[in-house]
Structure 1
Amino acid sequence: MSACAAKVDFDPEADIPDLQGKVFLVTGGTAGLGRETLIQLAKHKPSHLYFTGRNQKSADAIISDINTIDASVSVTFLQCDFGSRISIAKAVEKFHSGRLDVIIAGAGLMAVPADVTADDYEIQFGTSHMGNFTLMRLLLPIMLRTAEQPGSDVRFVALTSLGYGLHPRGGILFDFIKSKQEDRNTWVRYGQAKLANILTVKEMARRYHSITSVVVHPGTAKTGLVDSPSWINRMVVYATNPKGLLTVQEGACNMLWPLTTEKSNLKLGQFYLPVGRPGDLTRDGENMDLAKCLWDWSEKEIAELNFS
C-alpha cells in the first residue's frame, strides 16, 4: 500500500491505469505536489511528460529520477517565469507534441509579501491565475485537436484551495490587479487568486465540452509552498490544520485522481476535495457571470500572443 493510500481511498500504484499514448503537462513541476505527480505518472508509461518551472537544476534531478523509473518515458522541461507571458510563450514554443491529453495547472504562490509580477499583476494572481491561464490558452488549440481524435479523453485540472473563500468582496478586483494591493492582507490576495482558478475551470467547462475540466483542493501538504511564507503566516497554516499536514505523497493524490480516474467518475466543472469527493462552492465560486468576465478580461490581457 502506498503512502497516500494509508489515509485516503486512492492508491496511485494500483489505481492509475496504463497511460500509454498520453501526453501530460504539469505546471509547477519542479517541486512539491507537481514533482510528486510527475514521479507517479512516470510509473505508468505515459507517452510524454512536460513540466514547467524556473529551476533548471531541480528539473534535471526530476528528469534523472524519471529516467531511473522508466527510461522509455519521454520528459521535457519547459523553463519559464510564470509571471511573464512572454516567457511562457517562449516556453510553449518548445512544446513539440502534436497532441496534449492533460494539463494539470498547479503552479502558484501562497501568502507571499506584496509585490507584482514582471507583467505588473499582483504577484499571487499573476502567477497562479495569469500564468496558468496563459499557458493553457496558448495550448488550447492542441487540446481541442486532440479531443477530436477517436477515443480521446482530454482533461484540464486546476488546483485551488479552500482559502479561496478569503477573496475580497466582489471576488476579483479588476481595477487593482495591476498593483501590489498592499492595503489588503496577503491571505485576501491569495483567496482572490484561488477563486480565479475555480472560475477559470467553470468557464472552460461551459465553453469547451470536449475537454473535461475540473478543479481540486489537494489538501494542505507540507511543501515549500507552506514553508515559504513568513513565520506568522506559517502559523496560520498550522493552526487551521490541527490534525497536521499531509505528506507530499498524500497531497498529490487529489491531483492524480482526476488525471487518471475513469472519465465517467468526473463531472464537468466540478470542485473536488480529497480524494474525489465533490465539494460545495460559495456563491462567488459558482458565479458564471464573473467567470465569463474573468475569462474575457484574461484573454484581452494576452491578446498580443498567438493563441487563436
Structure 2
Amino acid sequence: MSNSFDKSTIPDLGGRVILVTGGTGGIGVEIVVELAKHNPAHIVFTGRNATSARTTISRAQALSPGASIAFVQCDLASLTSVNAAADKIIAAYPRLDVFFANAGIMATPPGLSEDGYEVQFATNHVGHALLTRRLLPLLEKTQAMPGADVRVVITSSTAWYGGVMKFDPLKTTKNTAVAMGRWQRYCDSKLANVLYARELAKRYPKLLCFSVTPGVVGTSLVTDLSLFDRAFVYVSQLGRIKTPEQGSYNHLWALSEPRASIKAGAFYEPVGKLSTSESASSKDPEMAGRLWEWTEKELKKWLE
C-alpha cells in the first residue's frame, strides 16, 4: 500500500461544507487540519470528547486562522445522541458537500450499546447508518445545487475480508468466549461498512458513495488495545503501520480525485487503489440489500 499523496491536488473548497465523524482523534484530526487549509465554508466534526475537540480546533486554526470549524458532540453507540447530532447539523447548515463517516472502534471488550447492539457493530455501522439516513435529504438538496459534487466516504478496513453477515447475533455478544471473538466482531462491522456503501451508491446514484481504508495506522485504535492484541497487530503488520497523517491520505484522495475517476460503491485501498479482493459475503448479490433492509427496520422509529 502506498504511503504517498500529493496534497497540492486538494481543490479549493470555497463554499463547501464538510462533515467528519471521529474528528477528535487519529486520522479524523488529520483530515480536519488539512482540509481547513483549503478554504472550506465550514468544517464540522463529531466526537465524544469536548476537550479533545478543542485541541483539534486549536491545531487547525493555528495553521488556518479564520477557518470555520465547529464541533458537534456525538456518541455513535447511542442512537439518541446520533439523532440529536443530526438535528444540530441540519439546523445549522444549508448544505453538506462531503460526509466522511470515519469514526470507529476496534477489538473492544464484549459489550452492548445502550440500544442493545454489539458495541462495535453499533458504533461502526448502526450509528453511522442513522446519521447518514438523517442527512440524506440535505445531501440530496446539495447535489441539486449548481456545480455540486456531493460525496459520502465511509471508512472501512481490509479486515472486512474476514467478516460475515449473520443478522441474528447482532444484538448479542456471541463469540466472546474465544480470544479472537472481538476481532471477528470488528471484521463483521467493517464488512457492513463496505456493503452499506455499495447499497447506498445503488439507491442514491446522484451521490458519490464509496468506502476506503486508511491502512493500519498507529492511532489509539491500536495503542489502546490489550498487550496481546497490540503485539498481534505490530507483528502481523511489521513495517506497514502508518502515521495518522499517512492514514488520512486515502480520505484526502477521496475528496480530491475527479468524480468521474471514482467507481461508485467501490472499496479503495491506499492511496486511491481500487480493491479487487472479495469475500463470499461481499460477492453475494443479496447481502448488501439484506443489510440495508435490516438496518432500515432497526432505525424505523428514528426516521419516521
TM range (shorter): over 0.9
Structure 2 length normalisation: TM-score? 0.94
Q: Find the aligned partners of 2:250 and 2:95 in 1 and give their Cα distance.
A: 24
**Aligned with 2:271: secondary structure?**
coil
Q: Find the aligned partners of 1:201 and 1:183 in 2 and give their Cα distance.
A: 31
Cα offset, 1:108, TM superposition: 0.9
Q: More deviation in 60-69 or 118-127?
A: 60-69
The ranges of structure 1 where at least 4 consecutive aligned residues each deviate by more than 4 angstroms after the TM superposition are: none
Structure 2, unaligned runs of 5 or more: none
1:279 is the counterpart of 2:284: no
Structure 1 length normalisation: TM-score? 0.93
1:27 alignment partner, one of 21, 27, 31: 21
**Aligned with 1:98: secondary structure?**
coil
Q: 8 Å contact 1:78–1:92 — kept in the other structure?
A: no
Q: 8 Å contact 2:4–2:249 — kept in the other structure?
A: no
Q: Find the aligned partners of 2:226 and 2:162 in 1 and give their Cα distance.
A: 18
Structure 1 residues 113-163: Cα deviation after superposition (integer angstroms, max 9, x where no partner): 111111111011110001111111110110011111121100011111111
User: Which residue is equivalent to 1:118?
Assistant: 114
Structure 1 residues 5-59: Cα deviation after superposition (integer angstroms, max 9, x where no partner): xx634122x1211111111110111000011110010010111111110000010
Cα offset, 1:306, TM superposition: 3.6
Q: What is the letter of the counterpart of residue 229 of structure 1? A: L
After superposition, residues 51-130 of structure 1 pair within 5 angstroms as 51-95=45-89, 96-130=92-126
User: Which residue is equivalent to 1:175?
Assistant: 168
**Aligned with 2:214: secondary structure?**
coil
After superposition, residues 203-222 of structure 1 pair within 5 angstroms as 203-222=199-218
Cα offset, 1:183, TM superposition: 4.2
After superposition, residues 135-214 of structure 1 pair within 5 angstroms as 135-167=131-163, 171-181=164-174, 182-183=176-177, 185-214=181-210
Q: 8 Å contact 2:46–2:73 — kept in the other structure?
A: yes
Q: What is the letter of the counterpart of residue 108 of structure 2? A: V
Distance change >3 Å, CA 183–CA 288, structure 1 → 2: farther
Q: What is the letter of the counterpart of residue 33 of structure 2? A: I
Structure 1 residues 162-190: Cα deviation after superposition (integer angstroms, max 9, x where no partner): 111222xxx22211111122246111111
Q: 8 Å contact 1:125–1:190 — kept in the other structure?
A: yes
Q: Find the aligned partners of 1:230 and 1:120 in 2 and give their Cα distance.
A: 24
Q: What is the letter of the counterpart of residue 146 of structure 1? A: T
Q: Find the aligned partners of 2:217 and 2:182 in 1 and give their Cα distance.
A: 19
Give the helix-richer structure, 1 or 2: 2
Structure 1, unaligned runs of 5 or more: 1-6
Q: Find the aligned partners of 2:268 and 2:300 in 1 and give their Cα distance.
A: 31
User: Which residue is equivalent to 1:293?
Assistant: 290
Cα offset, 1:98, TM superposition: 1.1
Q: Find the aligned partners of 2:285 and 2:46 in 1 and give their Cα distance.
A: 29
Give percent identity, aligned residues only.
39
Aligned length: 297
Structure 1 residues 247-295: Cα deviation after superposition (integer angstroms, max 9, x where no partner): 1111110111102221122111111111001112223223331111111
1:131 alignment partner, one of 119, 123, 127: 127
Q: 8 Å contact 1:48–1:74 — kept in the other structure?
A: yes
Q: What is the letter of the counterpart of residue 173 of structure 1? A: K
Pairwise CA RMSD: 1.4
